[in-house]
Structure 1
Amino acid sequence: MNSEDYVDDPDPWVIAPAQPIKGRGAVSNIAGRYETRISEAIDDGWSHEEEAVLAPVTHVTYETAKTILSRNQSPDLPFGVSLNPYRGCEHGCIYCFARPTHSYLGLSPGLDFETRLFAKINAAELLRTELAANSYIPNAIALGVNTDAYQPCERKFQLTRAVLEVLHECNHPVGLITKSSVIERDIDLLADMAKKRLAVASITITTLDHTISRTLEPRAASPTRRLETIRRLAQAGIPVSVSVAPIIPFVTDQDMEGILEAAFEAGATSAGYTVLRLPWEVNPLFQQWLEAHFPDRAERVMNRIRDMRGGKDYDSTFGARMHGEGLWADMIRQRFHKALARLDINKSSRFHWLDTSKFRKPLSVPADKKHAHSQLDFFSK
């Protein structure tokens, strides 16, 4: 080849655009922040547009956990103790703040988070042991905060059901938050607990638009189905709140009043909201999702988010991270409170309604744990 036939192109490759994957939220498997090697897909001209992108299969790995209760002192949250029976979440919500936790496992916060799940098969056993400890002080447990305790695999593993059975036995208060109708399976336990002020539930509804919901949170129950879940829980006497979260400017914010009204009609008696949070790897994942599904408004959405975060993509400051700051955040806040006043919905968290005074120790403790507790009792005397 003659030298004049060669054209020096300093950038012969282009980054391949992220493509939506049916039934999944993330459009890529980005590297976690602890990875030492990062790869990017490029378009080398050999691919064909008509080639179908195969949907990744969900894999669930059994995990024998060492502890089951997590404690926090965040002033933004109405609870101090939480329990998550699963790592990762098949619902695939692109905005999920828990996605970065998969980085600790050496996995991607992207597709891995929603396809490579971990089931804590000893969750109920660990809980029973913790509740039996002499030092245990009852505090309302938030069940399914990081990842949905009623995600699809719960139908098979029933870890959440087993945990609730322990809490029911011990008269221990619990608050649940979910986007799934599977919670209706446990109405028998929750209704009995609610009579004693031991159970409340919160249903998250992000949008009333089914088309948006199918890409935003692809494997969660549809908005209409979630409203029916609110109705069934309320009819069973279980206090239900609606969580309008997260509010995404120019994508879901227009639905806020409609969600509150529909939830109120279904039986919700309290409500809360948060604006979109983009910590760590959630930021690039969300922006990829925007470019894949809403390329016409992607820049506009991000600019509005920055308006509520002091010019940044995210601000983790307590007091600001949940609701944002500035003109647009104030406007959302005013809309929310005016809607609540019109509908006569309580804006406070129902967690404060839960009663810890009825707690009693478990009737039994796993045999291999009894010896450990007796040793602790001996040294504490």
Structure 2
Amino acid sequence: MAGNSFGQLFRITTFGESHGVAIGVIIDGCPAQLDIDMDFIQSELDKRRPGQSKITTQRKESDTVQILSGIFEGKSTGTPIALLIPNEDQRSKDYGHNIDVYRPSHADYVYDAKYGIRDHRGGGRSSARETAARVAAGAIAKLFLKQQGIEIFAHVTSVGKIEAPNLESNDLLSLLAIREENIVRCADPATAHEMIEFIDSVRKDGDTVGGKISCVIKGCPAGLGEPVFDKLHADLGKAMLSINAVHGFEYGSGFAGSELRGSQHNDIPQPKAADSKVFKTTTNYAGGILGGISNGMDITFKVAFKPVATIMHNQQTINAAGEASEIKGKGRHDPCVVPRAVVIVEAMAALVLADQFLRNKASVV
């Protein structure tokens, strides 16, 4: 398997390169008769598309999605769904300077080492442009999960050393509205303003900066996930770590939980209410997952993104012959990826949950 597919029952395969004709995705296993809201799918892609603000890459792509198959009269047919997103604003000449030169902290060298050939135009398949296909597929997964009462919300919680306060709210629509009112997609307005100013200053310096995205999944029933190798948090971790520039994943208490005692960290179950379908715990250090299986509490996790590798400064590097060389970043790049990555995190979480939901249905009578 070449590593271009994800999921078992709700399975996607993406294709295309950053500077090719188009990118796209094939979704296999989507249940039939799901209402497909194309406006919603396009709105999800609009959150990821380039050129949307002063703190994102200025590449101009409408990311207009086209249906090739699997949808009839607004509903899924149960057959493979194929979605295509044309590339409209390639500037391959921006990458002519690195045909034989390896960009620091990019995948240039490793693609050469693995395949003996690489697409130097924006990184080809290793470009974050590929994630638009995931967002399109994730939007359909979200439509499926919404029918099951499952909601996913992510937002930017840090840029560099700027940290947003912890937000405790059961009103996801309120947090979503706040998040979409600012271009950095942070659900705390004061912190968002500080983040935007900082990212813009980094951009003017010709540099980049990393950040973190937090995600909560509400309404997930108990029982999703497999007991050994396909644990729910393991699948979420793989999904998040497959996103370009992701360098860290933690769920529940994460690394901070290693500093606690068991007496502090244990989530104590509460008596089950007569009208409730799930058990609740007084705390949620487990992040909604026990033994790799969802327990009905909110599923919480964080994803850390490194600074974008392309900076507008001269850097020492080597060429394909292993000789010392120098390179300066050109083209259009994000000074910080996290504002556009929020919807990618949600999409990958949705793909995991949709797949695990269907797998769970297949494992019980």
Task: Provide TM-score, normalisation by structure 2.
Answer: 0.26
Task: Provide TM-score, normalisation by structure 1.
Answer: 0.25
Choose between structure 1 and 2: higher helix proportion.
1
Higher relative contact order (CA 8 A, sep 6+): 2
Radius of gyration: which is bigger? 1
